[in-house]
Amino acid sequence: MLRSLSARDPRSARAWAALALMVTIATCLLTNLVTFGALHAPELTATLGLAAVSAVLLGVPAERAAPLVVLAPLAGVAAVVWLDLLSRDAGVTGQVFLVVPVIWAAAQLRPGGTAVVALATVVGEAVVAFSILPPGEAAAVFAYVTVFTLLVAGVLTRGGVIQERLVEQLRVQAGTDPLTGLVTRRVLDAATDRAVRARGCEGALVVIDLDRFKTVNDTHGHLGGDAALAHVAALLTARCRPGDVVARMGGDELAVLMLDCPADVAVRRAQCFVDAVRDEPLRLPGGTVVPLSISAGLTPLSPAVTGAQDLYARADSALYAAKRAGRDRLARAA
């Protein structure tokens, strides 16, 4: 529920909410000083309330502030309605400021949050119009402002949803290898860095090379080489748990990050990878059977690991030990 009301980008929404509130505060103070030469209690109370909301948003970490940013446009609506009622002003100035929170919400919040702000704006407009204007005029003004508000909210929300969907598609494409369907090195790096920083986390990194991959390419062409990579990737994925990270690091090099997995269990599972590739050869569309094998180097997560690059270096060292020992085998880092 809270997620549907929250910001698309917490950091951006928090910054823009605080900026919008500060601009509103400054405008309110300046207008009253120029017009009346002094601040009246209602205007001062409204600006203090907006300042308090701005301070709360800036004082809370961006991630925790995500469901709170909806308070900013709601506070803006409340302040405009209150000032309009106190000044008995239902003119164009008040109406313009009443739509601003909706525009901000549609640009920064998810559809649920925008709907809440739009509803609050419509209710606020009804209170202002029917409290100040004659019934007939109030109904006309309310209808115009309501239609305009809903149109603005609908158009901007639709655009935001489409943009968010496209950004998500780009994020997925950037993190997925198109040939194997595995995640990319970028995703693996992030997961490895988190695992290393979480001291006490059990797990292991396995770095894998296809043995004599150039020979496969030379014999069966690049399509055969692509099929070999996809075949091995599928065998690895089928033997991994949902929490494991299976990645293509580049070329014929793959990797598996096993999380929440004791070292001895990780060794047995990595050996299963080697055995599966050996026991299940690739079958090309024409019926040709292509025997494959892999070399794998494993290093467990341990307090001795100083960082993600250190973990990679240890796994690479074990991988080359497996290659030197004759390939088609697993080697574990010391």
Give exposure, 168-187, as e/b (b: 16+ Cβ within 10 Å).
eeeeeeebebeebebbbbeb
- Same domain? 137 vs 216: no
Number of folded domains that form the chain: 2
For the residues 55-59, what does the mean pLDDT come to? Answer: 69
Going by pLDDT thresholds of 50, 70 and 90, the confidence category of residue 236 is very high
Q: Mean pLDDT score of the chain, rounded to an integer?
A: 85
Predicted structure pTM score: 0.59
- Same domain? 6 vs 120: yes
Domain end among 117, 145, 174? 174
Give exposure, 255-269, as e/b (b: 16+ Cβ within 10 Å).
bbbbbebebeebbeb
- Same domain? 196 vs 127: no
- Residue 264 annotated as catalytic: no
Tens of pLDDT, residue by residue over 239-287, are 999 889 999 998 999 999 999 999 999 999 999 999 999 999 999 988 8
What Å distances lie between residue 132 and 89, 128, 166, 283, 327, CA to CA? Answer: 7, 6, 45, 80, 86
Tell me if 78 is assigned to some domain: yes
CATH, residue 284:
3.30.70.270
Domain limits at 154?
2-174
Alpha-helical (H) ranges within the chain are 2-5, 10-36, 41-59, 62-65, 71-87, 92-108, 111-132, 135-174, 185-197, 213-238, 263-279, 308-324
Tell me if 179 is assigned to some domain: no
Domain end among 174, 200, 231? 174
Domain end among 119, 144, 174? 174
The two structure tokens encoding residue 227: 């099929």
Residue 65 · residue 14 · CB < 8 Å = yes
Tens of pLDDT, residue by residue over 290-321, are 999 999 999 999 888 888 899 999 999 999 99
Residue 35 · residue 87 · CB < 8 Å = no
Catalytic residue among 84, 177, 252, 328: 252
- Same domain? 152 vs 196: no
Tens of pLDDT, residue by residue over 139-183, are 998 998 899 889 989 998 888 888 778 877 777 667 789 899 999
- Same domain? 304 vs 323: yes
Residue 239 · residue 245 · CB < 8 Å = no
- Same domain? 122 vs 193: no
20-24, 76-80, 194-198, 216-220 — which one is most confidently predicted on average? 216-220
- Same domain? 136 vs 211: no
Tell me if 158 is assigned to some domain: yes
28 pLDDT more than 70: no
Alpha-helical (H) ranges within 175-212 are 185-197
- Same domain? 169 vs 189: no
- Same domain? 106 vs 197: no
